[in-house]
Structure 1
């Protein structure tokens, strides 16, 4: 009994230290990449949720709850969550893509980009990277919300400035000549 209590206390200490380290590491990485504070908080909470689930699982194992009982519990929970999210798989996909974008997306807010898409030209400046979308302001000042999971699947071209982006636009902005009536 004392051994179990000692292991649980040790797990709790490791959990607290790991979550604090994770939170500070994410904050440093976010500041280094000039990421919005809201996104840093969101990513910290998502990863903290994963660590909490792992901590609860380990405490259950230390307390002697059998693998069979845990398997039944977690399979029941995952079945309910799976059915609930099946219809909303794109939401889960966008949340996962948001985490990937936070850690490894080579573009930042303020960059001029073109998403290579055969159906439509998405060329403009990234004005925000949110939980579900990358928000791009086009040259025509239209706002495009591009889903995170799709932007990871498409080729993205980064331009040095607005002038370079305008030069690559398929929709050239030309000066219209005024026609004088006869």
Structure 2
């Protein structure tokens, strides 16, 4: 019994230290990438939730709860969560993509980008990277909410300035052609 209490105390100390390290590391990474505080808080909470689940699992093992009992419990929980999320699979994929974007997306809020999409030109400035969407304001002023899971699947071109983005816009080129045709009519 004393060994179990000692292991639990050790696990609690390690949990507290690693939780603080995780939170400060995410905050430091967020500052270095110029990410909003809300986004840093969201990512920190998601990682902390996963870390807490691992901690609870370890405590259960130290207390002597058998693998079979844990397997039944977790399979029941995963079955319920799986059925609940099956209809909302895109939500789960967008949340996962949100974490990937936080750690590995090379673009930041304020960058001028073009999402290469054959159906539509999505070119503009990134206003916000939220939990589910990347919000882009087009040159025309329209706002596009592009799902996180899709932006990871598409090629994204980053421009150095608004002028460079305007020069690459197919719609701006169409307008130049219209002006040229009108000039020729006169």
Do both share a fold (TM > 0.5)? yes
How many residue pairs match? The answer is 178
Alignment of 1:123-138 (within 5 A): 123-138=123-138
Counterpart position of 1:17: 17
Matched, 1:102 2:75: no
Counterpart position of 2:114: 114
1:128-174 alpha-carbon deviations (Å, 9 max, x no partner): 10000000000100000000000000000000001111111111244
Alignment of 1:53-64 (within 5 A): 53-64=53-64
RMSD, aligned CA = 1.2
Counterpart position of 1:141: 141
Cα distance between partner residues in 2 of 1:121 and 1:115: 7
Deviation at 1:99, TM superposition (A): 0.4
Which secondary structure does the structure 1 equivalent of 2:170 belong to?
coil
Counterpart position of 2:92: 92
TM-score (normalised: structure 2): 0.93
Question: Structure 2: 5+ residue runs without aligned partners?
Answer: none
Relative to structure 2, which stretch is displaced further, 75-84 or 165-174? Answer: 165-174
1:96-131 alpha-carbon deviations (Å, 9 max, x no partner): 000000001000001000000011000000011000
1:38-59 alpha-carbon deviations (Å, 9 max, x no partner): 0000000000000100000000
Which secondary structure does the structure 1 equivalent of 2:137 belong to?
strand
TM-score (normalised: structure 1): 0.95
Larger proportion of helix = 2
Counterpart position of 2:39: 39
